[in-house]
Structure formats: structure tokens, C-alpha cells
Amino acid sequence: MAYIHEFGIVECIEKNKEYVSYEPEKYNCIGVDGDLFDELMSKDFGEKMNHLETFAHNTNRPYKSLAYFGITLIPPSSHKHFFNMVSKANVEYKSEELEELMKKIAEAIEEDRWLIHFGV
């Protein structure tokens, strides 16, 4: 069965809100194939991801990496690091999905908005 990780932009982050609902359409999410993502996480990308400062389900729960089975909030302060990781991975994989993720991250940087990640 195919599965995907989805990434979108949050227009206005609510500081104490529990982001627990699966709402990819609300955030205009793009998808990254789960098999590709798993392969990335098993390499150097995965080690670097463990240093990405994020939040799990709300802004009161600091986290490192992405919540594989949950919802991750990625603050603007982490976007450049995330973009660089995805860009470097895309040099090897040359994936249209990683290209789309890079565009989504760049858009979030330009708009100074949070990203949201829906795990599998």
C-alpha cells in the first residue's frame, strides 16, 4: 500500500492549538512518497533530520525531526536548514516530489510562515 508524507503552509499558527486533525487540503499540501522518504531517513539525511528543530502537534511541545506517524509544525527559523537538507538529497535522487517540497519550503520562507507535516 502506498503512503505519503504531506507538507503544507500554515497561514496563521495558533500557539496553543492542538494540531491533531488530518487536513492536508486546508494547508494546500504536497506529497512525498513514503518509500522515498524512508530511504532518505535511512541515510545521512535522517541523521541531519534529528537536528531539525520542530514541534509535535502544538507549539508547546518542542521536538527534533518530523513526527513520522503524527503532525509536525516546522517554524520559520528551521526552514533554511530543512531546505538545504532536501536540496542536497535531491542532488542524488532528482525527484519531482523533492523539487515540489523545495518549492513549498521556499514559499514558506518568502511568506515567513510555518510549515505543517502530516506523517503516514
So where are the chain's domains? 4-12+25-118
Q: Give residue-wise pLDDT tens across range 57-78.
A: 999 999 999 999 999 999 999 9
Residue 112 predicted with pLDDT over 70: yes
Residues in the chain: 120
CATH label, 4-12+25-118, candidates 3.40.1760, 3.30.720, 1.10.150, 3.30.1680: 3.40.1760
Residue 38 predicted with pLDDT over 70: yes
Separation CA 73–CA 59 (nearest Å): 7
Separation CA 60–CA 86 (nearest Å): 26
Whole-model pTM: value is 0.94
Which DSSP state fits 21?
S
* In the chain, alpha helices (H): 34-41, 44-49, 79-93, 96-111
Q: For the chain, what is the mean pLDDT?
A: 94
Least trusted range by pLDDT, from 38-47, 74-83, 88-97: 38-47
Q: What pLDDT band is residue 101 in, cutting at 50, 70 and 90? A: very high
